[in-house]
């Protein structure tokens, strides 16, 4: 158990809908990362937050947004969903914002868009 929690575990929705994925980092970690894992794209870095502020942005679509709240939990919002958004979404956390840090991964949220 990494100490990172993600809810829900599974999510099934329809095209055009909007969903919110939630992540609670390990106790004491200030940085949260979001990743998308799909068969065709592999593991893609989406975005990083550090202590409530956006720190780095990767291959995140404009239809996707994220935020980190004062209690350090984070939410990833996916809107106007398409079939291709079906994937496993991971959250990870680390103690600070440096790229040298070990990231602790949650178990993921599996999103299925029908």
List 28, 53, 70, 99, residue binding another protein (CB under 8 A)? 99
Segment contacting another protein by CB under 8 A, of 15-23, 56-64, 69-77, 79-87: 56-64
Is 45 near another protein (CB under 8 A)? yes
Give the pairing type, strands 109-113 and 87-94.
Answer: antiparallel
The two structure tokens encoding residue 25? 């980092």
Q: Tell me how long the chain is.
A: 114
Distance CA 17, CA 60 (A): 18
Piece in contact with another protein (CB under 8 A), picked from 15-23, 41-49, 68-76, 78-86: 41-49
| Contact call for residues 5 and 106 (beta carbons, < 8 A) | yes
How many residues bind another protein (CB under 8 A)? The answer is: 26
With CB under 8 A as the contact rule, the residue among 4, 21, 23, 72 that binds another protein is 4
Where does this chain bind another protein (CB under 8 A)? Answer: 2, 4, 33, 35, 42-45, 48, 55-58, 90, 92, 97-100, 102-108
């Amino acid at each position: 158990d990494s100490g990172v929690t993600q809810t829900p575990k599974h999510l099934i929705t329809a095209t055009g809908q909007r969903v919110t994925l939630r992540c609670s980092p390990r106790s004491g970690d200030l940085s949260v990362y979001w990743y998308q894992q799909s068969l065709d794209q592999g593991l893609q870095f989406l975005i990083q937050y550090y202590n409530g502020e956006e720190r780095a942005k990767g291959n995140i679509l404009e239809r996707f947004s994220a935020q980190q709240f004062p209690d350090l939990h984070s939410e990833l919002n996916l809107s106007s969903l398409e079939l291709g958004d079906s994937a496993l979404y991971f959250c990870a956390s680390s103690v600070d914002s440096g790229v040298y840090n070990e990231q602790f991964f949650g178990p993921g949220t599996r999103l299925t868009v029908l």
